[in-house]
């Protein structure tokens, strides 16, 4: 690696380019959400992690919140806005997995996964939009998945939930313009996957 690349990465990881910015990250107590929260904080942002668990390392603010509960989401977002005095970035990341073909999962399981993966995002963004409209740097990031666009065997329900997110406008309907990134779609094209969304066949058991 070149010296220039090394110094760019050092700047990227230690810079304070998020100073003065406030963020919430759902599912921020572990995995990708926690890593995102830590990175944002290391670059100067104030960050609240909304999760079933409120155990997060300082200086992150842990707020216990189940994204299946609209009142809880609204209360947690309001608390973060009150604490930080603003809200600029929403990372709607909380999600759960599901395995199986379309015939393996019951209606209850479909409702359970959509309640977290899809409605949870809607509840989070809905609660945050009023505060985001006051920001001069508002951004909403939704964690979808390659499963949204590449048909993956045994992931019918999970792919459907992530595919729904990939098609959802989480801004304010273009009222104030906005940026949109469809990274899963671009990556899928780059890797030469077919764009198919959920596999609703036999999950590869006997070809489909
Ligand atoms: N790990 C991967 O390979 C991968 C790949 C593509 C997409 N994703 C997506 O990335 C996101 C994070 O995945 P991860 O691998 O970090 O998972 P993870 O299980 O480590 O973290 C998910 C977090 O979400 C929280 N959570 C679950 N249900 C919740 C609820 N109802 N309310 C609030 N918080 C809730 C959990 O407590 C957990 O802290 C998910 O949306 C997942 O679908 C993950």
Compute the average pLDDT of residues 46-63.
Answer: 98
- Residues in Cβ contact with 97 at an 8 Å cutoff, skipping those fewer than 6 apart: 158
Whether 188 has a pLDDT exceeding 50, the answer reads no
Confidence of residue 31 (pLDDT cuts 50, 70, 90): very high
What pLDDT is recorded for position 197? 39
Q: Which atom of ligand 1 is nearest to the CA of 94?
A: 24
Q: Would you state the pLDDT for residue 3?
A: 66
Q: Where are the domains of the chain?
A: 19-173+180-191
Protein residues with CB under 6 Å of any ligand 1 atom: 26-27, 29-33, 51-53, 65-68, 93-96, 116, 143, 145
Q: Which fold has domain 19-173+180-191?
A: Rossmann fold (3.40.50)
More confident call, 16 vs 161: 161
Q: What is the pLDDT of residue 177?
A: 52
| pLDDT for residue 6 | 56
Give 7's contacts (C-beta < 8 A, 6+ positions apart).
none
116-128 pLDDT per residue, tens: 999 999 999 999 9
Q: Is the pLDDT of residue 189 over 50?
A: no
What's the whole-number average pLDDT of the chain?
84
Better-predicted residue by pLDDT, 84 or 183:
84
Q: Is the pLDDT of residue 1 over 90?
A: no
> Which of 32, 39, 53, 73 to mutate for ligand 1's pocket (most ligand atoms within 8 Å of CB)?
32
Q: What angle do CA 155, 145, 43 make, to 5 degrees?
A: 150
DSSP 29-97: TSHHHHHHHHHHHHTT-EEEEEES-----TTSEEEE--TT-HHHHHHHHHHHHHHHS---EEEE-----
Q: What spacing in Å lies between the alpha carbon of 91 and ligand 1's midpoint?
A: 12
Atom of ligand 1 nearest to the CA of 146: 6
**What pLDDT shows up at residue 168?**
83
Average pLDDT over residues 149-159: 92
Q: What is the pLDDT of residues 33-47, one digit of tens each?
A: 999 999 999 999 999
The residues annotated as belonging to the active site are 158
Residue nearest atom 44 of ligand 1, based on CA coordinates: 145
In this predicted structure, what is the pLDDT of residue 206? 41
User: Does residue 174 surpass a pLDDT of 80?
Assistant: no
Q: Which span out of 11-20, 125-134, 146-155 was modeled with the highest average pLDDT?
A: 125-134
Mutate to test the pocket of ligand 1, among 25, 31, 124 (most ligand atoms within 8 A of CB): 31
pLDDT of 134 reads 96
């Amino acid at each position: 690696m070149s010296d220039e690349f090394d110094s760019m990465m050092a700047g990227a990881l230690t810079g304070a380019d998020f100073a003065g910015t406030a963020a919430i990250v759902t599912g921020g107590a572990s995995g990708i959400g926690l890593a995102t929260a830590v990175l944002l904080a290391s670059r100067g942002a104030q960050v609240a992690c909304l999760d079933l668990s409120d155990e997060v390392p300082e200086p992150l603010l842990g707020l216990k919140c189940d994204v299946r509960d609209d009142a809880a989401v609204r209360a947690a977002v309001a608390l973060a806005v009150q604490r930080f005095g603003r809200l600029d970035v929403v990372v709607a990341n909380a999600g759960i997995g599901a395995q199986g073909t379309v015939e393996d999962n019951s209606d209850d399981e479909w409702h359970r996964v959509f309640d977290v993966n899809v409605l949870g995002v809607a509840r989070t963004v809905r609660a945050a939009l009023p505060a985001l409209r006051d920001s001069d740097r508002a951004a909403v990031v939704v964690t979808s998945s390659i499963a949204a666009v590449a048909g993956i065997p045994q992931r019918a329900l999970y792919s459907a939930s992530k595919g729904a997110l990939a098609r959802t406008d989480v801004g304010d309907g273009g009222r104030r313009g906005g940026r949109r990134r469809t990274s899963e779609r671009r990556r899928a094209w780059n890797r030469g996957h077919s764009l198919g969304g959920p596999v609703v066949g036999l999950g590869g058991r006997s070809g489909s």
